[in-house]
Amino acid sequence: MEPISHEVQETTHERTLVILKPDAVERRLVGAIVARFESLPFEIIAMKLLRAHRMHLDKHFPNTKEWIRNMGTRACERLVKELNMDPAAKFGTSNPDEVGRKIAEGCRQYYASGPLCALVLQGHDVVRAVRALIGNTLPSKAAKGTIRGDFGEPEDMGKLILGAARNLIHASDSPAEAEREIAVWFSPAEILSAEG
């Protein structure tokens, strides 16, 4: 895991969305995971426990051609590179659009399967630092010291086929994506301002 500085950096308003998925809530890991974030020089400016509704899921997992193709392409690459698997053998196709659609539906089902805990963190370089802290998408490939490496369970390959690896946590992958995702899960009134 890449080291994360614990020094307080210049004030910034970069934000990121973190979602503790149903398996994290079910396994009662919310406190342990949130404690990892509290040990870093970031502010938690919003947090809530909720159930995902179709509106959340349709906005979080957009059905745009670009998003679906990107999801499918990344999944196919990950299967080959990290698991040495043929995407066609797992998904019945290696077409990124079809794979992306299957993964998006599997993810929607997974997020809707139980309560979620959503957080907004703010601070200098928070997107990169949080992604480093959560670790590899696949818990079996995540380094010790990361959230997935320490708390994750081996992947259920049957569920992985549906794109629903029970990997505890989601974090935005860019500042722009973070702002889009935060607007899906939180209203402005639910987020603390810089003044508190």
Question: What positions carry a catalytic annotation?
Answer: 170
Tell me the residue type at 62.
P
- Farthest-apart Cα atoms in the chain, separation: 53
Both structure tokens of 126: 């928070």
C-alpha 75 chain-centroid distance = 14
Angle at 136 between CA 92 and CA 153, to 5 degrees: 80
The C-alpha torsion from 74 through 36 and 166 to 115, rounded to 10°, is -120
- Ranges of beta strands (E only) in 23-179 are 43-50, 116-122, 169-171
